[in-house]
Amino acid sequence: MVEPDAVRPFGVEIDLQNGRMLRPERTTVRRASDMRGYYADPGALERLIEEGDNPVHYEVFETPVPETPGNLMYCISALQPGLVGQEFFMTKGHYHEVKETAELYLCLKGQGLMLMKTETGDCTAEAMARGRLVYVPPGWAHRSANTGAETLVSFCVYPAEAGHNYGDIEQEGFPKRVLRVNGRPELVSAAAE
Ligand code: S6P
Ligand code: ZN
């Protein structure tokens, strides 16, 4: 039965053209300095922080709902274009705390790749482009990389109780990195690091 004091129906405006949530209740901002430990070239990241004035890497706009089973959490994720050395700007990436929870990404703007991996070492990537939907199955960690020249924007939706486990990815990383090779994005094995 639905609790009488559960969240009431509501609406949120999304500017589909520019990929913005209008008047979000919560905005998470990740700057270059929040990304220490994630890129293959830490020196390049430090130069970006010092010389590039610690630019915004990505923002997540939310109007949250209770983190309880039955609700759906959703957000707009906006990842800036750029390079750290030869590696495209990316999100930290995470598993969901509740392993059995999937996620849908509908790309609204830009070009990129969604890197996904399992705990058993499977790793794959799906293209992100306006109108493309990427399904992240339960148990797959996910990280997006912006390989284009404009902001990579997605609408994401997932079970509200999912939670986020960043620690494992911070430790392990992904088996592959999205690098610029001869001017083009390429998935490169991280094994040699
Ligand atoms: C949440 C969903 C996205 C990410 C966002 C930033 O489950 O996957 O909203 O939070 O793309 O990435 P990250 O890895 O820093 O949370
Ligand atoms: Zn997620």
| Residues within 5 A (CB) of ion ligand 2 | 103
Q: What is the pLDDT of residues 122-178, one digit of tens each?
A: 999 999 999 999 999 999 999 999 999 999 999 999 999 999 999 999 999 999 999
75 C-beta closer than 6 A to ligand 1 = yes
Q: Rg of the chain's alpha carbons, rounded to an integer?
A: 17
pTM: predicted TM-score of the whole model, two decimal places: 0.96
64 C-beta closer than 6 A to ligand 1 = no
Q: What is the pLDDT of residues 61-82, one digit of tens each?
A: 999 999 999 999 999 999 999 9
Compute the mean pLDDT over every residue in the chain, rounded to the nearest whole number. Answer: 96
Which domains does the chain possess? 14-192 (2.60.120.10)
Q: Which two tokens stand for residue 18?
A: 């520019």
What pLDDT, on the 0 to 100 scale, is given for residue 1?
Answer: 59
Q: What distance in Å separates the CA atoms of residue 99 and residue 163, rounded to the nearest whole number?
A: 9
